[in-house]
A and B are shown apart, each in its own frame.
Chain A
Amino acid sequence: MSPAPSSVRCHVVTGKGGTGKTTVAASLALALAADGRQVLLVETEGRQGIAQLFDTPPLPYEERRVAVARGGGEVKALAIDVEEALLEYLEMFYNLRRAGRALRRVGAVDFATTIAPGLRDVLLTGKVKEAVTRRHDGRPVYDAVVVDAPPTGRITRFLNVTGEMAGLTRSGPIKTQSDGVMAVLKSPQTAVHLVTLLEDMPVQETADAIAELTAAGLPVGSVVVNMAAEPALPEPELARAAGAGLTGADLAPALAAAGLRDLPGLADALAAEATDHARRWAAQDELRDEVEAMGRPTVELPLLPGPMDLGALFELAGRLEEHLRTEVGRADGGVGIAARNERGAERPAGASGGTA
């Protein structure tokens, strides 16, 4: 099975805390793995959220298969351990693995990542870059890498490692390393997707993050509206209920016709709840307009009943696949989630070859 030529191969998923970015990242990985593709899902915050979602034991610092997708596709997951990454790095560049272990014993590794918080980000993004550009027999090992990234408040700082490190180190190998990482992250093969809810704060943070990312020259991808609910009232009455509100008299005849008359105050109570529901819906709709005004490809994921398990992830993945398909060809700058497949034709094949 030969994977379609692809342009975006590094999908960074961020969002305000509580918007479900880990769930979206996992579903996106499943969607991208369909039709026999190889996908790596990377955890950067050390919370073992991916292991919880896929119901596997805590992930070690190694690439483990967590799910199989249609047509023999595979999702592997990796939880990056910053200490291990630093030791790996010391070994790779200085042949210092043993010394590194000694450093760990005296707490020096922890110390180094503490005095230079940017160092942590360089190590994390460095690992991501390595996975994106890793090749075997002349072909990329992974068709796509999905990163469950830090929340919107920190995402630009996290990705803009060169900028952060410039404040701390003006020379040294870490500087060289972060320059290489930036080349990948700023290239068209990367897209930063933002997960939001239809609530004030997440939408505002999404807008802020898009502005920050754009200013930093980082490629913004799709906006994913997560946990979107459906209105339970019929469309024509929804606006009326949200505006003037419903009264018990609006409902009483129909309730009585069905024989629900002997509960005192029921019609009024139901009218109050329906009004509340319609007003929430109207408030959400306004935010939906705000999201649209951001001008990014947008996809809505439904609020699913019940616990988030593998089946639920596949259901969401289905919606994301649909987004991938329908957005194809009409995405603008070409960094939406949808830019994965056929868009490769529009872009020189070299884009997937790694610009680092």
Chain B
Amino acid sequence: MTQTTERTRRAPRPPAPPAPEALPLELAELITGPDTRIVVCCGAGGVGKTTTSAALALAAAEAGRTVVVLTIDPARRLAQSLGLVELDNEPRRVDVPGAKGELHAMMLDMKRTFDDIVVAHSTPDRAQQILENPFYQTLSSSFAGTQEYMAMEKLGQLRAGDRWDLIVVDTPPSRSALDFLDAPNRMSRFLDGTMIRLLTAPSRTGFKIASASFLFFSRIISKILGGQLLRDISSFVAALDTMFGGFRERATATYELLRRPGTWFVVVATPEPDALREASYFVDRLSAEEMPLAGLVLNRTHPPTTTALSSTRADGAAEEVLEAGGEGAELAAGALRVHAERMTQASREQHLADRFTSAHPEVAVRTVPAAAGDVHDLDGLRGMADALTGPDGDTPTGVPRRRILPARRR
């Protein structure tokens, strides 16, 4: 009762505030600027990180820079178009007719990268011992996090060589975008960790006083996993002993590299709730780590060719066209229904983008329309590069590239 009276007394509601406008993301300046040395593309799995990385690298090479793109797991046809048929863990020049600069591409071979570190940091005998150790072989080929760790390591190597104007890094296809930042540290902590030392202590000379509880612990672990595994780990740790400090130092150094000026993160997402949620986590994390965020690439959007006809009106028009009949009526009605669907999809996508911007108004946005097929050749990449690096306001429909639909007029 009281509620009703209150409601009648209340003044008319002010109009809802307009959805926040995203800032434009001008990637052309970013990738051609001489101060930009590293661009890291990150985001949830399956959003097009690899294609985005390759397209950005191509654009920078065409603008005259010497660029290398480090890809992790490219689709087969894209890899072929980049000349990545061989997995040799070294950058290969990609032939780009007419480019002012150079484009090089490489695909990460995590086992080989790991082997190289081992060889570079120990005596030949030791290295051999480690490489043959069964535990090392599992660790270097299938340990969760090894891929992220080795991507980081490779990035450090590429940067140290100082041969490249720009390094574009694609991140491993992990479930969570944050894994790229966390896994290297987790792994070096693990290899370096007290747990592994204590566990293997009984077999090491000079560490005789293991506590009773740890002996017990080690016995149970060996019960679960079998004694052989423990012996393997133990000899691996012994052989690796001198490298432990190095592992941690390298991981820390590369992590620091990501915070230095000259590094930019580009977060990639598709206009879907899950991908945007991951993007949100990543944006928050980057800001907490004081890592520089260039902005969000909203990939595979479906902007309509015209926004003059709303979804509802298009559906109505389809019915009218069918009623009027005549030649081509079914085709025209079909085209109107295609448009109606497209408008619905675009407004759903715009709504998701607006929600992201409400939460992160400081993050610049660039939308990239979905191509009719998948991108798998240089032409496709060039098309994507144009969408990524073209000026924000310069589009045929007049909708700025930070949006999918025009802002609602009030």
Question: Which residues on A are within 8 Å of B, measured CB to CB?
Answer: 16-18, 45, 86, 90, 94, 96, 99, 102-103, 106-108, 111-112, 114-117, 119, 153, 157, 164, 167-175, 199-201, 204, 232-234, 237, 246, 250-251, 253-255, 257-260, 263, 265-266, 269-274, 276-277, 279-280, 283
Contact = CB atoms under 8 A, between A and B. Distances in A.
B143 A117 contact: yes
A115 B233 contact: yes
A174 B323 CA distance: 71
A196 to B, nearest CB: 12
Nearest to B306: A269
B223 A266 contact: no
Given A18-B45, A254-B321, A260-B320, A265 B306 contact: yes
B77 interface: yes
Contacts of B163: none
Interface of B: 45-46, 75-77, 134-135, 137-138, 142-144, 173, 175, 190, 195-196, 199, 213, 216-217, 220-229, 232-233, 274, 304-306, 308-309, 317, 320-321, 323-339, 341-342, 372-374, 376
Q: Is the interface of A mostly helix, strand, loop or mixed?
A: helix
A96 B342 CA distance: 60
Contacts of A234: 330-331, 334
6 contacts: A114-B190, A167-B137, A170-B228, A254-B327, A255-B332, A270-B306
A254 B324 contact: yes
A260 B51 CA distance: 40
A210 to B, nearest CB: 16
Q: Is the interface of B mostly helix, strand, loop or mixed?
A: helix
B225 A168 contact: yes
B175 A174 contact: no
Contacts of A164: 142
Contacts of B331: 233-234, 237, 246, 250-251, 254, 274
Nearest to B340: A232
Given A171-B226, A254-B328, A259-B320, A200 B374 contact: yes
Given A199-B374, A200-B374, A173 B224 contact: yes
Given A117-B144, A260-B320, A279-B373, A169 B335 contact: no
Given A108-B217, A254-B321, A255-B321, A116 B335 contact: no
B372 A169 contact: no
Given A17-B175, A117-B144, A173-B224, A253 B376 contact: no
A115 B146 CA distance: 12
A171 B222 CA distance: 10
A94 B196 CA distance: 24
Given A258-B323, A269-B306, A168 B374 contact: no
B337 A172 contact: no
Contacts of B374: 199-201
A119 B77 CA distance: 35
- Most B CB contacts (10 A, CB to CB) among A16, A86, A250, A258 go to A258
Contacts of A266: 306, 308-309
A112 B224 contact: yes
Contact of B372 (A106, A115, A279): A279
B52 to A, nearest CB: 14
B112 to A, nearest CB: 19
Given A200-B75, A233-B338, A251 B227 contact: no
